[in-house]
Chains A and B, each alone.
Chain A
Amino acid sequence: MCLPKLWIFHIILCCLASFYSGSLGQEQITVARIKYMGGGDWYGNRTTFINLFNYIQQKTNLPTREREEVLQIMDKEFFKYPIAYVAGHGNIKFSEDEILQFRKYLLSGGFLWADDDYGMDDSFRREMRRIFPDLEWVELPFSHPIYHILFQFPNGLPKVHKHDGGPPKGLALFYEGRMIVFYSLNTDISDGCEDSDIHNDPPEIRESALKMGTNILLWALIQK
């Protein structure tokens, strides 16, 4: 991204911070963790968002909730959360109703961050194909603003955990110019954001995961 664009993003970020913390409302950043069926561990990474929200507060002054909310797609409150999050190691399965509801959510302005904990890739892609049979995954170039919105990732997604080996991939689904799903694959940003004693990641790895997590949430909030 060229320098002026970067500045524009930073200005938007400041506005966003003032919006969230100012008189316009006491909205706090949070995400809806999707409780899905199929047997996969939707409940993993229990400390991820506690740490990530804390980090965002420290670094951006944006107000955040203490942790994420756990919701099912069919819950009425689900639509109140602009960002949804899905992760796990196992099988993901959405019901027909959930498929329709989720599609509606994403097309209505919702954003999904999917983070592969290593093992959900096949089922997640399968379910997303059910939701959006017409959309194709696109690997984001390193120049994409999601890698630069606040913290700089000139080489794209940071590598946190080994998983399949090889480089991590930042995939996305776009609908009418808007990124509706960001899928971080083969790295495990969520694990990286967990308490340091859970995965014993080196501090710099953990820091990079928190930074990337911050970028993802900020991008979800301010993308046009």
Chain B
Amino acid sequence: MLDQEIKEKYQGIFSKIIHAHRWHFISKIIQSSMNLISISFLGIIFFIFVNLLFNVHAMVRISFIALLFVWIMVFTLIKILPLLKEIFTPSAEQIFKISKRLGQDDREIQDAIVNFLQIYSKKGSVVSPVLQNLALEQLYYRIKDFSFAERHSEKLLKPNLRIMFSALSLVAVLLLFIPTQVEMAIKKIFIPWKSFQLPLPLKLYNGSGNLVVLKDDPVDLHGTYKGIVPDRLFLIIEQNLKLSANDKDIDKIILPVDPGNHFSYRVNHVQKSFSYYFTAEINKARFREKSVVSEIGIIEVQNRPVIRNLQVKIIPPKYSKLPPQLLAPNEGEITALKGSLIQFQIDVDKQLSEAKIALSDSTNLRLQIIGHTAKGQLYVQKNVRYTFQIEDVDGIKNSEPIEYYLYALNDAFPYAEIKQPGVDVDIHDDLILPLLIEMRDDFGFSEIRLKGSLYRQGVTGDSTDFEKKLFYEVLESGRAISETSWNLTSFYMIPDDYIQYYAEVFDNDIISGPKSFKTKKYTIRLPSLLEILDETAEQQELQLEEVKDIALESKELKEKLEEINRELKKEKELKWEQEQEIKKQVEKQKALSERLSEIQKDFADFIQKMDQSKVLSPETLEKYFDLQKMIQDIDSPELKDAMEKLNQALEKANMNQIQKAMDRLQFSLQEFEKDIDRMYELFNRVLLEQKMDELIKLAEKISQDQQQVNQKFEEGHVESEELKRMQTVEKNIEQDLEYLSDKIDDTSENYKEIMQQTSKMLENAQSYIKDQKLDEKIQDARRFMSEQRIDDVLQAGRNIKSDMEMIQNMLQAAKQNMIREQKQEITDQLQKTTQDMLNSSFEQEKLLVQTTDLHSASAQINDIAIEQASLMQGTNQLISQILEISNKTFMLSTTLNRNLVEVLSSMENSISSLENRNPRQAAAHQKKSMAGFNQALISLQNSMNRISQASSASGFQDLMQQLQQMASQQGQLNQGSMMLLQQREQGKIQLSGEDLARLAAQQEMIRRSLDDLSKRMGSRRDVLGRLDDISRDMEDVVRELEANQFNRKVVERQKRILSRLLDAQKSIREKEYSKKREAEREIVKIKKSPPELKEELLEKEDRLRKSLMESLEEGYTLEYREFIKLYFELLSRQPNILQ
């Protein structure tokens, strides 16, 4: 028990000793470590100083670090490790040492502790355990209250800490003053392998730092430097901030070095965010490859609002009827008609707070904003430039907006052209002028007016202006025609009065106001009848001469060909000269045909003119138609064919064929010559008959003029100007009468030989003029007028009118007599010829019967042949008779002669067959001969019928008059309908049922008139052609109008009715004359070729060459001439020298 207790006590003391031992060694370790650190730290501080002072080579630094490391390792192994070992495995020796040290201050305690340890450690020895225990116990009680804690540990640490603190303080001071260098020195020590440069004695400062700027704005980057003046300064800009360093776009910009320490750079248009810094370099050798870098700054770019999409829509003004136009996206150049509405829409990449269109005329158009979109619209008034100015919600505006142009197109001026008549014209007695005006405009019309002035004869400066609105019909957009029959009656024109007129068309431009265009001015003149007659006479004289020439040349040509033909019959081969001669004659014949064709055209013009002027009677006009047709027949297909055949034969050089062709041509030429002669005779005869028409027309004209004068005075008060005009008219009447009197004398003289009775009647008319002293009466009337004796004027005027009507009747009677005489003469001759032909035909039939029964050996053959020859002679006589008649009338067909020629030919063949004793063949020819007679007889009969009918055409004029009246009524109705339709389409009026009923009634009235006329025409209805069709069309129109269906279709139908009525008039004329005529109305030829180019336009005008030639002709010396040549050659090589 005691042992145990002692043991425990002993263990307690021992533990305390061990504890103290451990603490002691821990302190030792700490002290050693502190020594190690202090020494190392001092070494490092020392080396820092070395590095601060010297550029220590890397190897030295590595060696230093290596030595330091070795030192630490060695120190640790030698000093620290044994101490550590002692802590964990304390040695007895050390324990005793510690024990001794524990009692250092108290000797007893020191001994007690040592004793205690010794006793205890020798417990098992020979010493009595009791003693040991007692000893231990005593010792225990002595040292049990002893503190075993180490007492001098602080003393161990303090010196080292002081050293370390001093060293660190030194480093801190250095860092404060030369931080870079110290930092660099530290780095050099701890990164010994790295090569370190010397720091530059320069510092750069970034003055701009981080900025936020707007895209496209400029930004100034500036800084300062401290230290020595750098040799080179750079601004480094790094784009693409988000990318890695290697991927960044780096711009290095050299900056000027300012001795004033400042430097800056302006980026004019910042586009993207970027970072930047400044760097500087010094040229000194020790700083080579060294640079100073400033702090990095970042420029953040904010985008301005940008228009992503622009859409422009052009809505042209309504009147233009143009469709809206959507421009291509982002197309801002606008070309639009004035008055167009332009709608803008822009899409912007940012939310907008404001948007407007700034116009170059300093006005702005604010746009309506919806988020990123802005809209607005404006009307085009003039050319203007514009830009879009926008501002986003951050107040940022767009920069440098694009300037667009807006071009305002003007509505073009309208254009009009008077297509018909399109030339200056002489108006005819009907005083109706068909007008066709073509109008063009880009967008349509508002109205067309016919304007002009009437100029009175002989009164200087006396003119009256007039103006009337015309209707027009729109054919297609921008094109219309105005078609009207202009009635000039209201102008009361007298011969030599004239009208100058033009059309003025207005377009439908409601934006700038209707623009107008005036057509070229044309003149309408009322020619005097005398003028027409003189002109006609002259023209006809020329034509007659031409026909005579053709007849003569034709005769010569025929004789020439006969001569050649005779020669050919002697030759076996065609000589070259003969061939050329034949060809020459054929060409001549062609030329004659062409001249005839020209005459035919002249006739056509003449007929049209005469028809319009109503100078000639329908009967005479009919004869001119016949003449015209006759020319067509003269230039027969047979003749053309014969010439063609001859040409072909000449090409083949076949003598046989040439001769046959020549024979055939000769025959055709004979016919040609006969026809030409006949035509000449007939033309002469027609001219004589025409004189009678002219006399009647002239008398009628005088009568009408006098009636006009009388009417004026009967109306009452006559103004002095009007009085002068009436005097002029009366003077004209006097001249006309004088002319009439002369003409009656001439005509009477001309008729004396051929139509005595008619001539006598004309003499009577002349006597009447003289007996009644008409010329004196007219002079009296004029005198009364000048004396303003109105009643006397009236009385004289009435007398003159009465006398003129008498003369007119007398002339009319003379003409009827002339027709009767002519008809009688021709009818008598035709009847005689018909009778003779019938006799011949009977004779031929008799011979045919005899021949048919005849045997070839019969003795009667010769007798029959003789009879046949006699009959042939009679037939020749017949042909002569017919030729004679045909020179007096057109009623005989030219085929009649040909039929008889064929009869003659058959008879000749028949005689030949009889001579050859071939009665059968002879009979066949006789049959042909008979057939020919029959054809000729039929032809003669037809001619007689025509003559008979021609004289019964007295109702013709009346029929024409009625049709004209109907056409006029229909024309007025159509104009009314068209006007109502246009006004309704333009929304100006609403048509009531009553309006349509009125139109229907008018149409029905015209229809009934037409039906009446149709009934009265009876068997002659056919001349009216499509009369029934017209009536049916009218019925349809009436029906539709009654059903309140009034539309463009109805108006079109009415136009067709009018057209057919006019056609019917033409049809009557054509059928009455039995001739075809060309349409009166001029066809408006929209497209015809421009004239050929002038030759000088296509010539290469070598002006240089000309100049050269001129120069050379100046008489220079030879040497000088060479110089001139050289000069021009050089000039000519230059391309634009001729400019």
Contact = CB atoms under 8 A, between A and B. Distances in A.
Interface of A: 39-41, 89-91, 103-104, 107-108, 119, 138-144, 155-156, 162, 164-167, 174, 176-178
Contacts of B753: none
B939 to A, nearest CB: 44
Given A90-B407, A155-B1087, A176 B478 contact: no
B477 interface: yes
Nearest to B417: A166
A104 B478 CA distance: 39
A164 B1097 contact: no
B689 to A, nearest CB: 45
A164 B444 CA distance: 11
Given A156-B1087, A162-B476, A39 B1097 contact: no
B1135 A108 contact: yes
Contact of A107 (B438, B1097, B1101, B1136): B1136
Interface residues of B, number: 31
A145 to B, nearest CB: 11
B954 interface: no
B1092 A166 contact: no
Interface in B394-410: 405, 407, 409
B243 interface: no
B1138 A176 contact: yes
Of B335, B405, B1099, the most chain A CB neighbours within 10 A belong to: B335
A143 B1098 CA distance: 14
A90 to B, nearest CB: 4
A119 B412 CA distance: 9
Contacts of A143: 1089, 1092
A91 B406 CA distance: 11
A119 B410 CA distance: 10
A138 to B, nearest CB: 6
Contacts of B1138: 107, 176
Of A90, A104, A155, the most chain B CB neighbours within 10 A belong to: A90
A108 B1136 contact: yes
A144 B1090 CA distance: 10
B1086 interface: yes
A49 to B, nearest CB: 19
B333 interface: yes
A144 B1097 CA distance: 13
B335 A41 contact: yes
30 contacts: A39-B335, A40-B335, A40-B407, A41-B333, A41-B335, A89-B335, A90-B409, A91-B335, A104-B1136, A107-B1135, A107-B1136, A107-B1138, A107-B1139, A138-B1097, A143-B1089, A143-B1092, A155-B1087, A162-B477, A162-B478, A164-B415, A165-B478, A165-B479, A166-B440, A166-B1086, A167-B1086, A174-B1098, A176-B1100, A176-B1101, A176-B1138, A178-B1100
A107 B1103 CA distance: 14
Nearest to A37: B405
Of B442, B478, B1090, B1135, the most chain A CB neighbours within 10 A belong to: B1090
Given A89-B335, A166-B438, 15 more contacts: A107-B1135, A107-B1138, A107-B1139, A138-B1093, A139-B1090, A141-B1091, A142-B1089, A142-B1090, A144-B1093, A162-B476, A162-B477, A162-B478, A166-B479, A174-B1093, A176-B1138
Of B405, B409, B1091, B1097, the most chain A CB neighbours within 10 A belong to: B1097
B1107 to A, nearest CB: 14
B1093 A39 contact: no
Secondary structure call for the A interface: loop
A119 B1100 contact: no
A159 to B, nearest CB: 8
A103 B477 CA distance: 38
Contact of B442 (A108, A164, A178): A164
A108 to B, nearest CB: 5
Given A107-B1135, A164-B442, A177 B1098 contact: yes
Interface in B159-188: none
A104 B1099 CA distance: 20
B1100 A103 contact: no
A177 B335 contact: no
A119 B476 CA distance: 19
A91 B405 CA distance: 11
Secondary structure call for the B interface: loop
B1087 A174 contact: no
Given A39-B333, A164-B478, A166-B479, A141 B1135 contact: no
B1135 A177 contact: no
B335 A90 contact: yes
Interface string B470-511: 000001111100000000000000000000000000000000
A174 B1138 CA distance: 14
B335 A156 contact: no
Contacts of A177: 1097-1101
Of B475, B1093, B1099, the most chain A CB neighbours within 10 A belong to: B1093
Given A119-B335, A165-B479, A174-B1097, A39 B407 contact: yes
A104 B335 contact: no
A141 B1093 contact: yes
Contacts of A108: 1135-1136
Contacts of A176: 1099-1102, 1138
B417 to A, nearest CB: 9
Contacts of A166: 438, 440, 479, 1086
Given A40-B335, A90-B335, A162-B477, A156 B1089 contact: yes
B335 A140 contact: no
A104 B1134 CA distance: 11
A24 B475 CA distance: 54
Contact of A140 (B477, B478, B1093, B1101): B1093
Contacts of B415: 164
B369 to A, nearest CB: 29
B479 A119 contact: no
B323 to A, nearest CB: 13
Interface string B407-427: 101000001000000000000
A165 B439 CA distance: 10
Contacts of B335: 39-41, 89-91, 119
Interface string B1096-1139: 01111110000000000000000000000000000000011011
A91 B477 contact: no
A165 B479 CA distance: 6
Interface in B213-269: none
A98 to B, nearest CB: 15
Contacts of B478: 162, 164-165
A100 to B, nearest CB: 9
B373 to A, nearest CB: 26
Interface in B1048-1101: 1086-1087, 1089-1093, 1097-1101
Contacts of A144: 1093
Contacts of A104: 1135-1136
Nearest to B1090: A139
Contacts of B438: 166
Nearest to B1135: A108
* In the complex, the 9 A-B pairs of residues with the closest C-beta atoms, listed nearest first: A165-B479, A90-B335, A142-B1089, A139-B1090, A167-B1087, A177-B1100, A39-B407, A39-B405, A108-B1135
Nearest to A118: B442
Contacts of B1086: 166-167
A142 B1092 CA distance: 8
B415 to A, nearest CB: 8
Nearest to A172: B1093
Contacts of B477: 162
Contacts of A165: 440, 475-476, 478-479
B1009 to A, nearest CB: 38
A138 B1099 CA distance: 15
A178 B1098 CA distance: 7
A142 B1091 CA distance: 9
Contact of A141 (B1089, B1100, B1101, B1136): B1089
A156 to B, nearest CB: 7
